[in-house]
C-alpha cells in the first residue's frame, strides 16, 4: 500500500445521507470535474463551489438561516462581530466620506473610526441616537453610512429606529444596524427599512461563549454584491467547526433568548427595589430611556442584558468589591452565553458627556445566563450585603 492509494482512495460514501444537522464540510480546495467547469465557475454565485473561502455547503446553510433569522435575503460570515463592522465600513466608505455613529455605540465601532478609518481619510461624527434631529443636522453630502444600534451599549437606551431610518432615507444615506441585541428575534430590522444588519454571532447564535463570528445581512442585491466583493478581497474566512457550532446554537436560540429575557427582567425588577440602586437601565422597564420606542418596535421582547447605577454614596472601590463578591456572576466581557456575567464600567471614560437621563454613580452591567434565576437573585443579595445596606 502506498500513500497515493490512501489519498486518492476510490471509496465514495453512498449519496443521500440526511440528518437534522447539516454536515460539517471542511475545505480550502474544492475539486472540479473539468477545466471548463473550473473556468466557468463564478465565485460570486452561490450555485456552486469554487474555493473554501468562497463557501461550502456548511457556510451556505448558516448564511441562509441567518438571512431568514434577520428577515433579509443575503448573508456573509466574518470572523467576529467587530470584523462585520469593519467589512461594512470598508465596503461602503472611501477617502473623503463620513460615517455617523451613535454616541452610545459598541465602543470598538467608534475606536475603529477613530484609529483606522481616519488613516484612510474617512471622517466620523457621533450623534445622539435618542434625538433624530441631532442626526439630521449632522448628515451632509459626505455622509455615506449611518450606524444604528438598539439598545445602546451599556446604557441600554432604545432609540426610535423608525424616525432615525426615516431621516437617513430622506438624505439617501445607507443605514447599518448592529442587530446583536435584537438578534433577529426582538424585531425585524428589514421591516423598519434598514439597509444592512451586522450581528455578533458570538452572542446569541452561538449561545455558548465558545467562539467568535459575525454576519452581515442585506436585502438589496447590489448592496450585497458590493459588500461581498470587499469581503472576498480582504479574505475574511470562518472555521468550519465554528460554523457547525453556530448551526447547533440556532436550534435553540428562540428558547434561550426568551429564557434569558425573562430571567433578566425578573432580576432587573428585583434590583430596582434595592436601597443601594439609583437606577436600573433596561428598555422594558416603565420609564426607562426609550421605553416607548422599545415597546413600539419590539412588542415585548428584549435581550437578557441590563445595567444598574449605584447611588452616588458608593465608591468605585466598593462597587468593584461588590462585583468581585458575586459567586455565580463571573467577571467577563461578552453576553448571551450560559454563564451570567458582570462588568463594572467607568462610564465617564467611555463617553464625551454623561448620558442624558442616566443617574450619576458607578455603573455595573449584568448579562444573564441560563442558571436558575433564584440562585442568581440570592447571589446578588449576598453581594449587596457587602455594601452594608438593607437588602430585600
Ligand X SMILES: Cc1ncc(COP(=O)(O)O)c(C=O)c1O
Q: Which is nearer to ligand X, 128 or 149 (CB)?
A: 149
Beta bridge partners, 308, equal: 280, 364
214 binds ligand X (CB under 6 A): yes
Q: Which is nearer to ligand X, 25 or 257 (CB)?
A: 257
Report how far apart, in Å, the C-alpha atoms of 352 and of each of 114, 128, 219, 228, 347 are: 14, 12, 35, 35, 9
- Residues 218-247 close enough to bind ligand X by CB under 6 A: none
Q: Which is nearer to ligand X, 214 or 361 (CB)?
A: 214
Q: How far is the CB of 106 from ligand X (least distance, A)?
A: 4
Q: Which stretch binds ligand X (CB under 6 A): 47-55, 78-86, 129-137, 227-235?
A: 78-86
Burial 344-354 (b: 16+ CB within 10 A, else e): bbebeebbeee
Q: In terms of Cα–Cα distance, which of 82, 179, 164, 114 is closest to 352? A: 114
Nearest-CB residue for ligand X: 81
Q: How far is the CB of 341 from ligand X (least distance, A)?
A: 11
Q: In this structure, what DSSP letter does residue 279 have? A: E
Q: Would you tell me how many other CB atoms lie within 10 Å of the CB of residue 388?
A: 10
Put the strands of the sheet holding 363-367 in their side by side order: 277-281, 305-310, 363-367, 341-345, 330-331
Q: Would you tell me how many other CB atoms lie within 10 Å of the CB of residue 200?
A: 28
Return the residue of 71, 72, 81, 102 that touches ligand X, per CB under 6 A: 81
Q: Which stretch binds ligand X (CB under 6 A): 80-88, 111-119, 139-147, 257-265?
A: 80-88
Q: In terms of Cα–Cα distance, which of 235, 178, 184 is closest to 205? A: 184
Q: How far is the CB of 150 from ligand X (least distance, A)?
A: 10
Residue 29 makes CB contacts below 8 A (sequence gap 6+) with 51, 52
190 binds ligand X (CB under 6 A): no
Site string for ligand X, 98-137 (x = CB under 6 A): --------x-------------------------------
Q: How far is the CB of 90 from ligand X (least distance, A)?
A: 15
- Residues 326-345 close enough to bind ligand X by CB under 6 A: 334
Q: How far is the CB of 42 from ligand X (least distance, A)?
A: 30
Q: How far is the CB of 290 from ligand X (least distance, A)?
A: 16
Q: How far is the CB of 81 from ligand X (least distance, A)?
A: 2
**Please, is 108 exposed, middle or buried when counting C-beta atoms within 10 Å of its C-beta (0-12, 13-18, 19+)?**
middle
Q: Which is nearer to ligand X, 192 or 341 (CB)?
A: 341
175 binds ligand X (CB under 6 A): no
257 binds ligand X (CB under 6 A): no
Return the residue of 59, 61, 174, 180 that touches ligand X, per CB under 6 A: 180
Q: Which is nearer to ligand X, 212 or 309 (CB)?
A: 212
Q: How far is the CB of 322 from ligand X (least distance, A)?
A: 22
Which triple of cell numbers denotes residue 70? Answer: 434577520
260 binds ligand X (CB under 6 A): no
Return the residue of 66, 212, 276, 280 that touches ligand X, per CB under 6 A: 212
80 binds ligand X (CB under 6 A): yes
Q: How far is the CB of 248 from ligand X (least distance, A)?
A: 17
Question: Do residues 122 and 113 lie in contact, with contact meaning Cβ atoms separated by under 8 Å?
Answer: yes
**Please, is 382 exposed, middle or buried when counting C-beta atoms within 10 Å of its C-beta (0-12, 13-18, 19+)?**
middle
82 binds ligand X (CB under 6 A): yes
**Please, is 170 exposed, middle or buried when counting C-beta atoms within 10 Å of its C-beta (0-12, 13-18, 19+)?**
exposed
* Angle in degrees, 0-180, between the axes of helices 221-234 and 81-92, rounded to the nearest 10: 110
Q: Which residues bind ligand X (CB under 6 A)?
A: 80-82, 106, 153, 178, 180, 200, 202, 212, 214, 334
Amino acid at each position: 500500500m502506498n500513500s497515493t492509494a490512501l489519498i486518492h482512495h476510490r471509496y465514495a460514501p453512498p449519496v443521500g445521507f440526511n440528518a437534522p444537522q447539516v454536515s460539517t464540510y471542511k475545505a480550502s480546495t474544492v475539486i472540479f470535474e473539468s477545466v471548463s467547469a473550473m473556468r466557468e465557475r463564478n465565485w460570486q454565485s452561490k450555485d456552486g463551489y469554487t474555493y473554501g473561502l468562497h463557501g461550502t455547503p456548511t457556510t451556505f446553510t448558516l448564511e441562509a438561516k441567518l438571512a431568514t433569522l434577520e428577515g433579509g435575503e443575503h448573508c456573509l460570515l466574518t470572523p467576529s462581530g467587530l470584523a462585520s463592522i469593519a467589512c461594512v465600513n470598508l465596503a461602503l466608505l472611501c477617502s473623503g466620506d463620513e460615517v455617523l455613529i451613535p454616541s452610545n455605540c459598541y465602543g470598538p465601532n467608534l475606536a475603529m473610526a477613530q484609529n483606522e478609518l481616519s488613516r484612510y481619510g474617512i471622517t466620523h461624527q457621533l450623534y445622539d441616537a435618542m434625538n433624530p434631529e441631532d442626526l439630521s443636522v449632522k448628515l451632509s453630502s459626505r455622509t455615506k453610512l449611518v450606524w444604528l444600534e438598539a439598545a445602546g451599549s451599556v446604557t441600554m437606551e432604545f432609540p426610535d429606529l423608525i424616525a432615525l431610518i426615516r431621516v437617513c432615507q430622506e438624505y439617501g444615506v445607507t443605514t447599518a444596524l448592529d442587530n446583536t441585541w435584537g438578534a433577529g428575534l426582538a424585531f425585524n430590522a428589514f421591516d423598519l427599512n434598514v439597509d444592512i444588519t451586522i450581528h455578533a454571532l458570538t452572542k446569541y447564535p452561538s449561545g455558548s461563549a465558545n467562539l467568535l463570528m459575525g454576519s452581515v445581512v442585506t436585502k438589496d442585491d447590489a448592496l450585497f454584491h458590493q459588500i461581498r466583493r470587499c469581503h472576498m478581497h480582504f479574505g475574511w474566512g470562518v472555521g468550519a467547526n465554528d460554523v457547525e457550532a453556530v448551526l447547533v446554537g440556532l436550534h435553540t436560540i428562540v428558547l434561550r433568548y426568551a429564557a434569558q429575557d425573562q430571567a433578566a427582567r425578573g432580576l432587573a425588577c428585583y434590583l430596582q427595589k434595592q436601597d443601594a440602586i439609583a437606577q436600573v437601565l433596561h428598555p422594558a422597564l416603565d420609564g426607562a430611556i426609550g421605553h416607548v420606542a422599545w415597546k413600539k418596535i419590539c412588542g415585548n421582547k428584549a435581550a437578557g442584558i441590563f445595567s444598574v447605577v449605584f447611588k452616588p454614596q458608593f465608591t468605585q472601590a466598593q462597587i468593584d468589591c461588590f462585583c468581585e463578591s458575586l459567586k455565580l456572576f463571573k467577571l467577563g466581557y461578552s453576553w448571551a452565553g450560559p454563564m451570567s456575567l458582570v462588568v463594572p464600567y467607568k462610564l465617564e471614560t467611555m463617553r464625551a458627556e454623561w448620558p442624558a437621563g442616566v443617574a450619576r454613580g458607578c455603573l455595573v452591567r449584568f448579562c444573564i445566563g441560563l442558571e436558575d434565576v433564584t440562585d442568581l437573585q440570592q447571589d446578588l443579595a449576598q453581594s449587596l450585603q457587602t455594601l452594608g445596606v438593607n437588602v430585600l
